[in-house]
Amino acid sequence: MAVFSKILIANRSEIARRVIRTCASMGIATVAVFSEHDADAPFVHDADEAVALPAGSSYLDIDAIVEAARRTEAAAVHPGYGFLAENASFAAAVEAAGMVFIGPDPATISAMGSKLRSRSLMEQVGVPLLLSAEIDVGSDISAAASEIGYPVLVKASSGGGGKGMRIVTEPSSLDDAIAAATREAESAFGDGTVYLEKYVEQPRHIEVQILGDGTGNVVHLYERECSIQRRFQKIIEESPSPGLDDELRQELWQAAVAAGQAVNYRGAGTVEFIVDADGGFAFLEMNTRLQVEHPVTEMTTGLDLVHEQIAIAAGVPLMSQHDVPAQYGHAIEARLNAERPAHGYLPSTGVVRRFGVDADVRVDTGIEEGSEISHHYDPMVAKVISHAPSRGEAAARLSAALQRAKIHGVDTNRDLLVGVLTDEDFLAGAVDTHFLDRKGNTLSRARATSDVVSLHAAVAALALQVDARHRATVQTSLPSGWRNVQSQVQQRTLAHEDDELDIGYRIGGAVTSMTVNESAVNIDHVYSATSSCVDISVDGVRRTFDVDINLGKVYVDSALAATVFVQIPRFEEPGSSVDSGSMIAKTPGTVVAVQVDVGDVVGAGDVVMIIEAMKMEQAIVAPEAGHVSAVHFAVGDQVRTGETLVEAETDG
């Protein structure tokens, strides 16, 4: 088959590796482009060749990427998802340079990229739509909103992924929401246009995968359920969608095919629908690219969607709907993100010291052990996908794999994902996009009971003690903590979430005695204890615990749970604690707004600064009333976690 000799991938990380993998299987050479932050990223090494983007440039730099393709004589360009994947100018620039853009026609991209234009196209072919209103200069926004009926949704005309999106429940907050959404859209997509749309309660997000050949032939590859979302971002996706009747599924598929046909769609695309509790549905938008969640379709159909994309771009005739394989079994994808669900999904950055997931699930990831999760890009660590004959088995397999996964160095949403996958409502298929909001923090509550935390803390202390002995440079071979006069036990303090655990222990030949917060941990026998693995029997049960001691943290993984402890230092330098009046960066990021000047009076809860991190805005608020005594950063400055941003003195 006449495919390409070399493809440049205009993307990074997980999706770049995903495309490279298929290219390699097709005998196609690959070229990566990389930013200054990604110089050591695995995808760069995976590609046959790589071109550095100019300093200060990014994956949005069309000229630089086209030039890279030209320099490496790439025959085609794969845009991945995000960045330039749905940028018509980029597709046009690639084609203008004489290369093939693996994706739809630029005209299709721009038509579907504008929600307003795509809506009118859909209207023409009879695909159902939600009530909406454009926001023009001079238009009466509040009247339009009232006409649609509250609650309304403010949405960015370009882009997706929840960026530039706000729910407005009452007229008074409409203006603020529009301003914030505009700012976010501007920053994320370079286009600040937003519009209003009817907000559906208890909505389900169901999308249909389509393939088109650009001449009007369009097939669908079934639907995906993407209702489990946090802040409009999908975290769990699956196929097929649970609990849909065949009639509704058929309707959705046909609507998607009609949508594709309306634009003579070429390549892989996704038509997103909103489905209400009564089975009514409406067109949301069309994504003219590969979706993050494409693996669930791949695993249930046996198709390789990247392969299909390349084949279509190379002019290979499209399969007929009749030839589309029937779906087998059920696939579920979980997005493992470096973030802390219990702390408002604050991103967690750092070096991933260990990363390991069981072999019976598919793992698509852009990282390796030693990779850094920085605040420059999105926080996704990996996509973990399970496939099983039934939905229940797929969920069980995925949650088990996540529970057993070793992920050290950054905090992740693992507990939340496991919480969803084992939730009764989820297992019953009772999902909608408010699922997580409704469940609150109950899902992400750590699985580890206090007994397990105590046991893991004891294990951590055992490993730390071995580690301390290894680090000793004198008396290196002496027994740990040896005393000829025993006056007290050895002590360590570890923090687990908000709790402090005092561990006391004595290592004495065959006998090891330990207490955690003064209650005994009954260690029958220590089979072996190193700084990375502890094999002990406690209360008659022998278990192996994997331990990783890393930069003041101790990770302990076992069949019982995965836990992370923070070592409380033995000594605290006086004056190292922070004044209560300080407002501190909770996340690294860029200052996008400074709301106060020195001398300003602030009330408790007033926003003093806005930090953008990983495309999410974090408001820094005054903890109590007072007046501002110092402002340490200006708009555009980079801040790091823990840095004092603004200081205020309390009045009186």
Partner 1 sequence: MTVLNSVLDTSSEEFAANVAAMEEHLVALESLLDQAKAGGGEKYVDRHKSRGKLLARERIEFLIDRDSAFLELSPVAGAHTEYNVGAGVVTGVGVVENTECMIVASDPTDKGGAINPIGLAKGLRALEIAAQNRLPVVYLVESAGGDLPRQIDVFLPGGKTFRELTRLSAAGVPTISLVFGSSTAGGAYLPGMSDYTVFVEGRAKVFLGGPPLVKMATGEDSTDEELGGAEMHATTSGLADFMAVDERDAIRLGRMIVSRLNWRKQGGGPSAPVVEPVHDPEELLGVASADLKVPFDINDVIARIVDGSEFDEFKPMYGTSLVTGWARIHGFDVGILANHRGILFSEESQKATQFIQLANRSDTPLLFIQNVTGFMVGASYEQGGIVKHGSMMINAVSNSTVPHLTLQVGGSYGAGNYAMAGRPYDPRFVFVWPNAKTCIMGAEQLAGTLSIVARAAAERTGVEFDDEADVQRRTMITMKITQEEQATYLSGRVLDDGIIDPRDSRTVLGIALSAVHNGDVAGTDRFGVFRM
| Segment near partner 1 (CB under 8 A); pick from 77-85, 364-372, 440-448, 477-485 | 477-485
- Burial class from Cβ neighbours inside 10 Å (0-12, 13-18, 19+) for residue 130 reads middle
- Which of 171, 392, 479, 603 lies at the binding interface for partner 1 (CB under 8 A)? 479
The residue among 138 and 509 lying less far from partner 1, judged by its C-beta, is 509
Partners of 373 in beta bridges: 350
**Residue 457 beta carbon to partner 1: minimum distance, rounded to whole angstroms:** 16
Assess 509 for contact with partner 1 (CB under 8 A).
yes
Assess 472 for contact with partner 1 (CB under 8 A).
yes
**Residue 576 beta carbon to partner 1: minimum distance, rounded to whole angstroms:** 11
- Which of 246, 278, 518, 573 lies at the binding interface for partner 1 (CB under 8 A)? 573
**Residue 520 beta carbon to partner 1: minimum distance, rounded to whole angstroms:** 20
Assess 45 for contact with partner 1 (CB under 8 A).
no
| Nearby residues of 237 by Cβ (< 8 Å), 6 or more positions away | 224, 225, 226, 228, 292, 293, 296, 332, 333
The residue among 54 and 479 lying less far from partner 1, judged by its C-beta, is 479
**Residue 491 beta carbon to partner 1: minimum distance, rounded to whole angstroms:** 8
Assess 322 for contact with partner 1 (CB under 8 A).
no
Structure tokens at 239: 């196929």
With CB under 8 A as the rule, give the number of residues binding partner 1: 27
**Residue 569 beta carbon to partner 1: minimum distance, rounded to whole angstroms:** 10
**Residue 493 beta carbon to partner 1: minimum distance, rounded to whole angstroms:** 11
Assess 537 for contact with partner 1 (CB under 8 A).
no
CA distances, 460 to each of 52, 230, 415, 499, 510 (Å): 42, 33, 20, 15, 19
- Which of 484, 576, 577, 580 lies at the binding interface for partner 1 (CB under 8 A)? 484
Which residue, among 164, 265, 161, has the nearest Cα to 210 in the 3D structure? Answer: 265
Provide the mask over 254-293, with x wherever binding to partner 1 is found by CB under 8 A and - wherever it is not. ----------------------------------------
| Contact (CB, 8 A) for 267 and 106 | no
Assess 518 for contact with partner 1 (CB under 8 A).
no
The residue among 261 and 480 lying less far from partner 1, judged by its C-beta, is 480
The residue among 540 and 575 lying less far from partner 1, judged by its C-beta, is 575
Assess 485 for contact with partner 1 (CB under 8 A).
yes
The residue among 438 and 483 lying less far from partner 1, judged by its C-beta, is 483
Question: Using CA atoms, how far apart are residues 466 and 470, in angstroms rounded to an integer?
Answer: 6
Dump the DSSP string for 365-391: ES--TT-EE-TTS--EEEEEEEEESSH
In the DSSP assignment, the letter for residue 289 is S
The residue among 172 and 473 lying less far from partner 1, judged by its C-beta, is 473
Phi then psi dihedrals of residue 466, to 5 deg? -65, -40
Assess 474 for contact with partner 1 (CB under 8 A).
yes
In the DSSP assignment, the letter for residue 117 is H
The residue among 509 and 599 lying less far from partner 1, judged by its C-beta, is 509
| Contact (CB, 8 A) for 622 and 647 | no
- Which of 359, 540, 571, 580 lies at the binding interface for partner 1 (CB under 8 A)? 571
Assess 590 for contact with partner 1 (CB under 8 A).
no
Assess 570 for contact with partner 1 (CB under 8 A).
yes
**Residue 492 beta carbon to partner 1: minimum distance, rounded to whole angstroms:** 7
Provide the mask over 450-469, with x wherever binding to partner 1 is found by CB under 8 A and - wherever it is not. ---------------x--xx
Structure tokens at 249: 């599924």
| Segment near partner 1 (CB under 8 A); pick from 205-213, 309-317, 471-479, 585-593 | 471-479
The residue among 442 and 484 lying less far from partner 1, judged by its C-beta, is 484
Is the torsion defined by CA of 631, 636, 642, 643 positive or negative?
negative
Angle between helices 305-313 and 13-25 (to 10 degrees): 70
| Contact (CB, 8 A) for 287 and 259 | no
Which residue is associated with the tokens 């009926």?
Answer: 149
**Residue 573 beta carbon to partner 1: minimum distance, rounded to whole angstroms:** 7
Write the Ramachandran bin of 305: left for phi over 0, alpha for psi from -120 to 50, otherwise beta: alpha
Question: Using CA atoms, how far apart are residues 344 and 355, in angstroms rounded to an integer?
Answer: 24
Question: Using CA atoms, how far apart are residues 364 and 335, in angstroms rounded to an integer?
Answer: 10
Assess 477 for contact with partner 1 (CB under 8 A).
yes
**Residue 567 beta carbon to partner 1: minimum distance, rounded to whole angstroms:** 11
Assess 56 for contact with partner 1 (CB under 8 A).
no
Which residue, among 43, 41, 68, 40, has the nearest Cα to 53 in the 3D structure? Answer: 68
Assess 480 for contact with partner 1 (CB under 8 A).
yes
The residue among 431 and 463 lying less far from partner 1, judged by its C-beta, is 463
The residue among 509 and 636 lying less far from partner 1, judged by its C-beta, is 509
- Which of 442, 475, 519, 576 lies at the binding interface for partner 1 (CB under 8 A)? 475
Buried b (16+ CB within 10 A) or exposed e, 339-350: bbbbeebbbbbb
- Burial class from Cβ neighbours inside 10 Å (0-12, 13-18, 19+) for residue 373 reads buried
Question: Using CB under 8 A as the criterion, which residues of the chain lie in contact with partner 1 when the complex forms?
Answer: 465, 468-469, 472-485, 487-488, 490, 492, 507, 509, 570-571, 573-574
